[in-house]
Structure 1
Amino acid sequence: MNIRHIHPLTLGVLFGTFFARLSTFFVMPFFAIYLATLGFSASVIGTVFAISALSGLFMSFFGGTLSDRYGRKQLMLIGIVLNALTFSGFALVTELFWFYIFSVLMGVSRSFLEPASRALISDTTQPDQRVIVYNVRYFLINIAAAIGPLLAVVLSLTGAKSAFFVVTGVYVMYGLVISTLFRKYPFEEGDGVKVRPRLTETFRVLQQDKTFRFVIIGMIFAIIGYSQFNATLPQFIAFHDGFSDGSRLFAYLLTVNAITVLVVQYPIMRFGMRVSPIKSLFFGVATLSSGLLLIGFATETWILFVAMVIFTVGEVLMFTMTDVLTDELAPAHLRGTYFGAMGLTALGQTIGPVIGGVLLDGFDNAALPVFGSLAVLTACGAFFFTGALKERKASLALTEEKVG
Structure 2
Amino acid sequence: MIRNSFLWPLFILDFILHFSRALTFTFFPIYLSHTLGFNPLLTGYALGGSLVTATLVGVYCGILIDRFTPLRSLLLAIVVSVLVYSVLPASRQFAQVFLLLVIIEVAFTTMHLSVKSLLTGLLPSGQRGAAYSISYTLINIAFCSAPILGITLSHFAIRAPMWLSGALSVVSLLILLAVYRRYRAHLRITRPQSGQKTGLRQTFKVLASDNRLQLFTLGGLFSALVYARFATYLSQYLGYVVSESEALRLITLIVSINAATVILLQYVIGKRITHKNMVFSVMIGSGLLVSGLLFYQVSELTIFWIIATVLFSLGEVIIVPSEFLFIDAIAREDMKGAYFGVQNISMLGGGANAILFGYLLDSHLARPAAIFYFLMVFAVLGCALYLIGIRQKRAVAVVDES
TM-score range (shorter-chain normalised) is 0.7 to 0.9
Do residues 169 (structure 1) and 170 (structure 2) align? no
Aligned residues of 1:295 and 1:367 also touching (Cα < 8 A): no
Comparing 127-136 with 96-105, which one deviates more in the overlay?
Answer: 96-105
Q: Aligned-pair distance for 1:218?
A: 0.4
| TM-score after normalising by structure 1 | 0.78
Aligned residues of 1:18 and 1:140 also touching (Cα < 8 A): yes
Secondary structure of the 2:184 match is coil
2:10 to 4, 8, 13: 13
1:70 to 57, 68, 91: 68
Aligned residues of 1:149 and 1:255 also touching (Cα < 8 A): no
Write the mapping of 1:195-234 to structure 2, written as runs, cut at 5 A.
195-229=196-230, 231-234=232-235
Q: Aligned-pair distance for 1:56?
A: 2.5
Give the Cα–Cα distance (whole angstroms) in 2 for the partners of residues 251 and 92 of structure 1: 34
Give the Cα–Cα distance (whole angstroms) in 1 for the partners of residues 316 and 24 of structure 2: 21
Q: Aligned-pair distance for 1:222?
A: 1.2
Give the Cα–Cα distance (whole angstroms) in 2 for the partners of residues 102 and 364 of structure 1: 39
Which residue is equivalent to 2:292?
291
Aligned residues of 1:61 and 1:200 also touching (Cα < 8 A): no
Q: Aligned-pair distance for 1:369?
A: 4.4
Secondary structure of the 2:243 match is coil
Query: Per the alignment, do residues 39 and 373 of structure 1 end up closer, same or farther by CA in structure 2, a change over 3 Å counting?
Result: farther
Comparing 210-219 with 156-165, which one deviates more in the overlay?
Answer: 156-165
Q: Aligned-pair distance for 1:252?
A: 4.8
Query: Per the alignment, do residues 52 and 39 of structure 1 end up closer, same or farther by CA in structure 2, a change over 3 Å counting?
Result: closer
Write the mapping of 1:138-287 to structure 2, written as runs, cut at 5 A.
138-148=136-146, 161-183=159-181, 185-187=183-185, 188=187, 190-229=191-230, 231-234=232-235, 242-244=243-245, 250=251, 252-266=253-267, 268-269=269-270, 272-273=273-274, 276-287=277-288
Aligned residues of 1:242 and 1:299 also touching (Cα < 8 A): no
Give the Cα–Cα distance (whole angstroms) in 1 for the partners of residues 157 and 366 of structure 2: 22
1:113 to 95, 111, 134: 111
Which residue is equivalent to 2:313?
312
Aligned residues of 1:49 and 1:353 also touching (Cα < 8 A): no
User: AA paired with 2:166?
Assistant: T
Give the Cα–Cα distance (whole angstroms) in 2 for the partners of residues 90 and 280 of structure 1: 43
Comparing 63-72 with 299-308, which one deviates more in the overlay?
Answer: 299-308
Secondary structure of the 2:123 match is coil
1:56 to 54, 57, 62: 54
Q: Aligned-pair distance for 1:360?
A: 5.0
Do residues 22 (structure 1) and 19 (structure 2) align? yes
- Per-residue displacement from partner, 1:255-294 (whole Å, max 9, x unpaired)? 3212212443356436643863234234434433553564
Give the Cα–Cα distance (whole angstroms) in 1 for the partners of residues 272 and 2 of structure 2: 23
Q: Aligned-pair distance for 1:18?
A: 1.5
Give the Cα–Cα distance (whole angstroms) in 1 for the partners of residues 217 and 195 of structure 2: 27
| TM-score after normalising by structure 2 | 0.79
Give the Cα–Cα distance (whole angstroms) in 1 for the partners of residues 261 and 281 of structure 2: 17
- Per-residue displacement from partner, 1:280-332 (whole Å, max 9, x unpaired)? 23443443355356445555655444333222122112112223232222222
Query: Per the alignment, do residues 74 and 282 of structure 1 end up closer, same or farther by CA in structure 2, a change over 3 Å counting?
Result: same
Give the Cα–Cα distance (whole angstroms) in 2 for the partners of residues 163 and 97 of structure 1: 21
Q: CA RMSD in A?
A: 4.1
Give the Cα–Cα distance (whole angstroms) in 2 for the partners of residues 301 and 88 of structure 1: 46
Which residue is equivalent to 1:137?
135
Aligned residues of 1:215 and 1:384 also touching (Cα < 8 A): yes
